[in-house]
Amino acid sequence: MKIVIIGGVAGGASAAAKARRLSEDAEIILFERGEQISFANCGLPYHIGGDIQDRDALLIQTPEKMHHRFNIDVRVETEITDINPAKKTVVAKHTLTGEEYEETYDRLILSPGAAPFIPPIEGIESPEVMTLRNMSDMDRILATLDNTHTRRAAVIGGGFIGLEMAEALVHRNLSVSLIEQAPQVMAPLDAEMAEPLHDTLRQQNVDLRLNTGVKRFTLEDRGITLTLMDDSLLKVDLVILAIGVRPETTLATSAGLEIGKTGGIAVNRRMETSEQDIFAVGDAVEINEFVSGDPALIPLAGPANRQGRIAAINALGGKAEYRGSQGTAVCKLFDLTVASTGLNEKALKRQGTAYEKVYIHANNHAGYYPGASKINFKLLFSSEGKVLGAQATGLSGVDKRIDVIATAIQADLSVYDLEEVELTYAPPYGSAKDVVNYAGFVAANVLNKSMTQLYSENLPDALEDPQAILLDVRNPDEITQSGAIPGSINIPLDSLRQNLQQLPKNKTIIVYCAVGLRGYLACRVLGQNGYNTRNLAGGYYMWQQSKHCRPVSNTERKVA
């Protein structure tokens, strides 16, 4: 059995190692275009920023080690220029010498990855406009940073790499502009959940430009000028282009492999392409999104590794199926952690899938234990209670909660299960009722109709109704400190029972508090006293967080 693998990072390297574990006899050849295999591509921004000081730390596996340990014939600096599925051969070309030769295969595993997307913008080919995909890209950026004239940088794109690079460049004491065409950074989040990231960026003096893009790059004697969509100019010394990646499908296409509608190489759950004995894995393939089952491109390291293992098992005659990717992801942005899993609201709307949502704003651990900080958490679920996705930001404990939800989604748990999940609790780690439990409680309250929610984006419309009363149940000192929603009246929760006569019964009472908990308690009191109530989801906090992405009410307009 002769297994040929194209691409030596994540998926390819995993496939090679797994294939060897399964078979000592197989001949395994690993082709890699670059100099290195299995380098830590997720670590590149951290070496640029100086957190990882030793460049060699990024070289997880060398061709030599791979050869000694796994008896893999690793051929770096070798590009595969053609695949002939009928003959079961590939054409290999050494990138330096240009030497070409044919290699046969019994099974072929493609792991070509994805390349940074480079849109057709005038001047984008300037050497000052750089992308970050491999060690050479990193070295090129570092060389530019070592030049003392490099003081200002623009990062185009507010995704994972854009954010990590913005932070890295701030660590390098550059003045950084971050340009993002969307109204928010970090597309996996919904807009109202991304505000803490915008706040963090601004606190770190990143010049954040949302809702705009680059029209033109103009090379100057020193540096490069960006002309933005509104014709404003930005002169910098370095541009990092990080607006996303596209699957590398040139080779697959020329070999006649089927390409999916998302633009990735089409594979089945066994990671088989449309051609017999050819598998494909990693960022280049179209997989099924786990929750919806829809075809998707989810270029992440974890899934790539798993797909590599699965392709190797199947290539050697075993039986393994890939379940799909949930898009579980996490990103550090200075002190903030942002993480998500499953579908977001934008995706659910696009798909036309019905959903409910709840917001939790609660401590990462017992509030009385030092260092407590808030986690801002959003849970999406179906009307049957199925968990569809979650998003969270915070200083600590964010990855843990998203990992719990990721596991819950994998297990098809419901929000009722989240109520019961028994998580670790001691004051330094959590609370007896964890954020995840709370999300389950609130979601269950919504589904069993012990509370009717109103979302901030629907508040302006709801307030148009002359029968609506907006009731703030916070304490007066909270209002003095943080303000209130225009048009609200205030009766603190703890004196609500004594002041019911202030509220006419034929009205709809829209209740809010700081984050939603007291609002819920107030709705319980009011509802059982015959009132029609709605609780503002996530309270005043989420109303504020959503201000850039919700309609403005007439009252707000008047007050402004």
* Residues with catalytic function: 42
Query: Which of helix, strand or coil describes residue 534?
Result: strand
Q: Looking at beta carbons only, is 114 or 493 nearer to a copy of itself? A: 493
For the bound state, the minimum distance from the C-beta of residue 344 to a copy of itself, rounded and expressed in Å, comes to: 15
The piece of 134-142, 177-185, 239-247, 299-307 that touches a copy of itself (CB under 8 A) is: 299-307
CA distance 408 to 411: 5
Both tokens assigned to 236: 């910098």
The piece of 54-62, 104-112, 201-209, 552-560 that touches a copy of itself (CB under 8 A) is: 54-62
CA distance 361 to 539: 9
Residues near a copy of itself (CB under 8 A), total:
85
Residue 222 lies near a copy of itself (rule: CB under 8 A): no
Q: b or e along 176-194 (b: 16 or more beta carbons within 10 Å of the residue's beta carbon)? A: bbbbbebebbbbbbbbbbb
CB contact set of 197 (below 8 Å; sequence gap of 6+): 163, 184, 185, 186, 189, 333, 336, 338, 393
For the bound state, the minimum distance from the C-beta of residue 85 to a copy of itself, rounded and expressed in Å, comes to: 30
Q: Looking at beta carbons only, is 437 or 553 nearer to a copy of itself? A: 437
Please identify which residue in the block is written with the tokens 């030049």: 147
Q: What is the DSSP letter of 25?
A: S
Question: What is the number of other CB atoms lying within 10 angstroms of the CB of residue 66?
Answer: 23
The piece of 61-69, 279-287, 464-472, 508-516 that touches a copy of itself (CB under 8 A) is: 61-69
Q: Looking at beta carbons only, is 300 or 510 nearer to a copy of itself? A: 300
Residues 105-144 that bind a copy of itself (CB under 8 A): none
CA dihedral 365, 366, 367, 369 (to 10 degrees): -100
For the bound state, the minimum distance from the C-beta of residue 334 to a copy of itself, rounded and expressed in Å, comes to: 11
The mark string for 355-374 relative to a copy of itself (x by CB under 8 A, - otherwise) is -----------xxxxx----
Query: Which of helix, strand or coil describes residue 57?
Result: helix
Q: Looking at beta carbons only, is 337 or 546 nearer to a copy of itself? A: 337
Residue 503 lies near a copy of itself (rule: CB under 8 A): no
Query: Which stretches within 96-194 are classed as H helix?
Result: 135-146, 160-171
Residues 380-419 that bind a copy of itself (CB under 8 A): 399-400, 402-404, 406-408, 410-413, 417, 419
Q: Looking at beta carbons only, is 123 or 385 nearer to a copy of itself? A: 385
Q: Looking at beta carbons only, is 209 or 332 nearer to a copy of itself? A: 332
For the bound state, the minimum distance from the C-beta of residue 227 to a copy of itself, rounded and expressed in Å, comes to: 33
Residues 70-99 that bind a copy of itself (CB under 8 A): 70-71
Whether 527 and 533 have beta carbons less than 8 Å apart is answered as yes
Residues 422-481 that bind a copy of itself (CB under 8 A): 422-430, 432-434, 450
Residue 21 lies near a copy of itself (rule: CB under 8 A): yes
Residue 533 lies near a copy of itself (rule: CB under 8 A): no
Of 124, 226, 229, the residue nearest 177 (C-alpha): 226
Q: For a copy of itself, which residue of 85, 116, 303, 385 counts as binding (CB under 8 A)?
A: 303
Residues 307-326 that bind a copy of itself (CB under 8 A): 323, 325-326
For the bound state, the minimum distance from the C-beta of residue 397 to a copy of itself, rounded and expressed in Å, comes to: 8
Whether 278 and 272 have beta carbons less than 8 Å apart is answered as yes
Residue 501 lies near a copy of itself (rule: CB under 8 A): no
Q: For a copy of itself, which residue of 40, 92, 240, 387 counts as binding (CB under 8 A)?
A: 40
Q: For a copy of itself, which residue of 76, 234, 421, 462 counts as binding (CB under 8 A)?
A: 421
For the bound state, the minimum distance from the C-beta of residue 460 to a copy of itself, rounded and expressed in Å, comes to: 29
The piece of 68-76, 150-158, 275-283, 351-359 that touches a copy of itself (CB under 8 A) is: 68-76
Residues 159-218 that bind a copy of itself (CB under 8 A): 160
Both tokens assigned to 311: 């392709």
Q: Looking at beta carbons only, is 306 or 550 nearer to a copy of itself? A: 306
Long-range contacts formed by 309-313: CB under 8 A, 24+ apart: 309/14, 309/15, 309/18, 310/270, 310/271, 310/281, 311/11, 311/15, 311/109, 311/270, 311/271, 311/279, 311/280, 311/281, 312/3, 312/14, 312/15, 312/16, 312/18, 312/19, 312/22, 312/109, 313/18, 313/22
Q: Looking at beta carbons only, is 99 or 420 nearer to a copy of itself? A: 420
Q: Looking at beta carbons only, is 152 or 474 nearer to a copy of itself? A: 474
Q: What is the DSSP letter of 18?
A: H
Whether 115 and 250 have beta carbons less than 8 Å apart is answered as no
Q: For a copy of itself, which residue of 217, 279, 290, 543 counts as binding (CB under 8 A)?
A: 290
Query: Which stretches within 237-293 are classed as H helix?
Result: 250-254
Helix or strand run (H / E) with residue 489 = strand 489-490
For the bound state, the minimum distance from the C-beta of residue 442 to a copy of itself, rounded and expressed in Å, comes to: 12
Mapped to the 3 state alphabet, what secondary structure does 427-441 carry? Answer: CCCCCCCCHHHHHHH
Q: For a copy of itself, which residue of 154, 339, 513, 514 counts as binding (CB under 8 A)?
A: 339
